[in-house]
Amino acid sequence: MLHFIWKYKKFQLARLTTSKNEAVAVLHTGMHNHLAGPDFFNAKINIGGQLWAGNVEIHVNASDWYAHRHEDDANYDSVILHVVWHDDVAVFRKDGTEIPTLELKNYISKEVLSAYQKLFDTKQKRFINCENDIAKIEDFVFQNWLERLYFERLEEKSAFIFELLEKSNNNWEQVLFALLLKNFGLNVNGGAFLSLANAIDFSVVRKLQADVFQLESVFMGMSHLLEDDTIVDQYYLQLKKEYGYLKHKFSLIDTEVVQPQFFKLRPPNFPTLRLSQLANVYTKKQHLFNVIVNTTNLEDLYRLFDVSASLYWNDHFTFGKTSKKSTKKLTKKFVDLLIINAIIPLKFCYAKHLGKEINEEIIQISTTIKAEDNSILSNFKKHGVQVKNAKDSQAMLQMYKKYCFVNRCLDCQVGSSLLREND
């Protein structure tokens, strides 16, 4: 709260003085530092008629300076003002000079404190702190905040993608392969499918792309789905034989691959179907990475993933057990999730890698995709928040997980706006 008050000058500016009665004029509060070291860098403050440039440290009690052992840390020698709620002790630098102290409690309005207490009073809250007021935020402010959150989420996803890029020695096709596998596995099998991607060099996929049966045999075999000796299904036995041949030919090692689960999955999400569908994606289009990064139209992306599992799966969900006949095609909803969680982040990272800016293209695609649907987004809707498209839904998920859930209301434009109303 004190950080927020200082950062946005929520104190009464009439006549600030230090504990030694020196006049204080805040020209610039400084840059908020969320890492180690003083709380605000490069502030400009006039203290007792002398202009100072340096850092500001903030504590609830002045004695916290010693509790945190700042007196032994050279990083705090450049502090020009100690901002506290309660000044209970004088604070000195290592050279023995006293640091001026500003006690804030006498300069903060009751309205600001009341708004803060209301925001963090969780007794009546069932979802998020601002649930009763979030719908009141000015639309222009809220939409700008959502766009910032959306790209913040993309930046966070970028870290994982660039890790994949480093592991693959800058092989973007390998990165795409890993991303697709992880997302084809969804939440339950994402980790298992990613372990499969880590175990197969993409050069093998490229050599097998012309033959979906071979590609499927490698995906199934490496995933330990061809190890049941009790299954006598002809297609299963053919895949098993083919995998044995290809495993030897390409020296494939499956010991680190995690076997995917079927438990608690709806049949359309069974790993057998998803692996077959992905094999068909790669058989359908060569040089998939280049196609994706050069595709700017959402409909073209839909056409790219307009595939079904192999014919065998028309009347199967698992090996050896027939089911009602139906084409196991990738649904639009699934492809939307694929574009949201794999394709857009990949395009964003590749553009960043090249030093290009494609934010407008990304916004165009993400605002054309239907919003996701889950319990978090449903709760936002219940409290009057419109979630119109995928950009909004991704932004709202980012806000909930990184701000609402961890009580970072004062770092959020919604919380900040609600407190500013009470200046």
| CA distance readout (Å), 272 to 184, 192, 209, 260, 363 | 11, 13, 18, 9, 34
Q: By the 8 A CB rule, do 119 and 130 touch?
A: yes
Whether the pLDDT of residue 307 is over 60: the answer is yes
Q: What is the C-alpha to C-alpha distance for residues 388 and 268, in angstroms, rounded to an integer?
A: 27
Asked if residues 380 and 387 have their Cβ atoms less than 8 Å apart, the reply is yes
**pLDDT, mean over the chain:** 94
Lowest mean pLDDT among 46-60, 67-81, 231-245, 276-290: 67-81
The neighbouring-strand residues paired with 83 are 58, 102
Task: Give the burial string for 48-60 (b: 16+ CB within 10 Å, else e).
Answer: eeeeeebbbbbbe
Contact (CB, 8 A) for 254 and 244: no
Reference 26, options 40, 47, 5; nearest CA is: 47
Q: Look at 90-94, 151-155, 289-293, 296-300 and tell me which has the smallest mean pLDDT.
A: 90-94
pLDDT of residue 122: 66
pLDDT of 130 above 80: yes
Query: What pLDDT score was predicted for residue 152?
Result: 98
CA dist., res. 274 & res. 283, Å (int): 14
Q: Which amino acid is at 318?
A: T
Please check whether residue 271 is in contact with residue 189, taking contact to mean a CB–CB distance below 8 angstroms.
Answer: yes
Alpha carbon separation from 173 to 164, 168, 353, 405 (Å, rounded):
11, 9, 14, 36
Q: Is the pLDDT of residue 422 over 60?
A: no
- 366 CB neighbour count, 10 Å cutoff: 21
For residue 423, pLDDT over 60 is answered with: no
pLDDT of residue 341: 97
Q: What is the pLDDT averaged over residues 376-381? A: 96
CB within 8 A of 111, min separation 6: which ones? 422, 423
Q: How many residues does the chain have?
A: 423
Torsion 210-213-216-220 (CA) sign: negative
Is residue 13 predicted with pLDDT exceeding 70?
no
Phi first, then psi, for residue 390 (nearest 5°) are -65, -35
Lowest mean pLDDT among 105-119, 264-278, 308-322, 339-353: 105-119
Top-confidence residue, 411 or 258: 258
Burial 353-362 (b: 16+ CB within 10 A, else e): eeeeebeebb
pLDDT > 90? residue 124? no
DSSP readout, 331-400? PHHHHHHHIIIIIHHHHHHHHHHHT---HHHHHHHHTTSPPP--HHHHHHHHTT----SHHHHHHHHHHI
Amino acid at residue number 44: K
Give the residues across from 52 on adjacent strands: 45
Distances (CA, A) of 187 to 135, 192, 265, 276, 402: 31, 10, 10, 18, 19
Residue 367 banded pLDDT, cuts 50, 70, 90? very high
Paired strand residues for 55? 79
pLDDT above 90 covers a percentage of the chain that reads 84
Confidence check: pLDDT of 14 > 70: no
pLDDT digits (tens, 9 = 90+) for 37-61: 999 999 999 999 999 999 999 999 9
Contacts for 175 with CB less than 8 Å, ≥ 6 apart: 161, 164, 165, 168, 289, 346
Q: What pLDDT is attached to residue 291?
A: 97
Neighbours of 338 (CB within 10 A): 19
Confidence check: pLDDT of 211 > 80: yes
pTM (predicted TM-score): 0.82
